[in-house]
Amino acid sequence: MQASPDTHGAGPATTAQGAPVAQSGAASLPEVRATALWLAAHGVPVFPLTVAGKTPATAAGFKDATTDPDVIARWWTRRPYNVGISTGPARLAVLDLDTPNHGQHDQGQYDQGGAVRAARASALLGAWATEPGVIDGADVLAVLAARAGQPVPLETRTVRTPSGGTHLYFLAPHPLPSTCGRLGPMIDTRAMGGYVVAPPSRTAAGGYQTINPAPPAPLPGWLLDALTPAPPAGASRPGPAVRRTAAARGPVTDPYVFAAFENEVDAVLAARPGTRNDALNRAAYALGQFIAAGRLNESMAIDALTIAAEHIGLSPAETARTIASGLAAAEHTPRHDTDRDSTRGPDAGRRP
């Protein structure tokens, strides 16, 4: 059963006739409902955020994200919940470029010379504050692009946040972790295990606005390299062939399948010496059952498992053989269930 949004005891906001009423600082119910349904129709899993807020309105948060139009219609029936996008299942990597204004809703607090804003920027930027002209995350990204000899990646879907920050949407060729400051100060990323607020959601500080409606572009290679976790000592970094763009394969729209997908990849990454080949075989078998049921893209699963295996030091030949063996064993045992307590296989010791 899909989770219901938490109304915190308030109940639906309606008129005496039962119609939804506007709430201060909230988005329009018809607009957010239409947006949620449109995103879902395009394979982007969504979930409700609190009215005029950014925190999840369901118990499991982004893990409740779905593309099921019936569930979405029920969620957005009475209350104008903001719209959250679960970035991992959507195959998105969103760059969150912050500003010194983040969290500062009263612009009048800044003096005419901008001393308060400048001081806050300096504190947030640290050593980067000595870079000429750098005052926010967008400036840091520009410097990083220049250092990489690449253009600033602005030709993609772009959203302006209420604080004046920027969200740049990109398609990730393989699962990436969400990060905080990994690229540089005032730059976070939302990918696996993360979410972003979608326009036309609104908070007390203002609304989220799409300023470039272009489709998300593939994540530039130099950013992909910077965001891909470093392999352990002695292991190779994934090569270009393994990292090839998977945008055309589409997202994982079933949140249960995606949770299982994440669990299996994590299990391979956590495997200890002496258990790594077995962990990879088990993961390939588990994901192979979803592939056999038509619930998971085979190329996406192979790419993710290959990357994980190479990160833990398995050779390309051993990795390919083990994945192929696990997938072949699962061909005749398709997994259609959604029971999180059902076993993965005859000797499975871990469950999604």
Question: Does residue 124 sit in the same domain as residue 174?
Answer: yes
The number of beta carbons lying within 10 Å of the beta carbon of residue 94 is 24
Question: Does residue 242 sit in the same domain as residue 313?
Answer: yes
What does each C-alpha distance from 244 to 1, 235, 240 come to in angstroms?
A: 36, 19, 6
> What is the per-residue pLDDT for 121?
62
Contacts 24+ apart (CB under 8 A), 264-268: 264/305, 264/352, 265/175, 265/304, 265/305, 265/308, 267/350, 268/305, 268/308, 268/309, 268/312
> What is the per-residue pLDDT for 228?
84
Residue 11 falls inside a structural domain: no
Question: Does residue 213 sit in the same domain as residue 236?
Answer: no
CA neighbor of 102 nearest in space, from 121, 119, 84: 121
The number of beta carbons lying within 10 Å of the beta carbon of residue 20 is 18
Residue 331 falls inside a structural domain: yes
> What is the per-residue pLDDT for 120?
59
The distance in angstroms from the start CA to the end CA of the chain is 17
Q: Are 75 and 6 in contact (CB under 8 A)?
A: no
> What is the per-residue pLDDT for 192?
86
> What is the per-residue pLDDT for 350?
32
> What is the per-residue pLDDT for 42?
92
Question: Does residue 156 sit in the same domain as residue 59?
Answer: no
CA dist 44 and 171 (Å) reads 12
The number of beta carbons lying within 10 Å of the beta carbon of residue 155 is 11
**Residue finishing a domain among 205, 227, 249:** 227
Residue 23 falls inside a structural domain: no
Question: Does residue 184 sit in the same domain as residue 268?
Answer: no
> What is the per-residue pLDDT for 117?
56
> DSSP assignment, residue 179?
E
**Residue finishing a domain among 188, 211, 227:** 227
Determine which helix (DSSP H) or strand (DSSP E) holds 137, and give its type and residue range.
Answer: helix 137-147
Question: Does residue 237 sit in the same domain as residue 123?
Answer: no
> What is the per-residue pLDDT for 249?
42
The tally of domains found in the chain comes to: 3
**Residue finishing a domain among 86, 106, 121:** 86
Range of the domain at 113: 92-227
What string of pLDDT tens digits covers the 352 residues of the chain? Answer: 456 675 433 333 333 333 343 455 789 999 999 999 999 999 899 999 999 999 999 998 998 999 999 999 999 999 999 999 999 889 899 999 999 875 544 444 444 445 555 665 666 677 777 788 888 999 999 999 999 999 999 999 999 999 999 999 999 987 888 999 999 999 999 998 899 999 999 999 999 999 999 999 999 999 999 998 765 554 444 444 333 333 334 456 677 787 788 788 888 888 888 899 999 999 999 999 999 988 888 877 887 888 788 778 888 889 999 999 999 999 989 988 764 433 333 233 333 3
Q: Domain of 166: which CATH number?
A: 3.30.2250
Cα atoms in the Cβ-side hemisphere of radius 13 Å centred on 183: 32
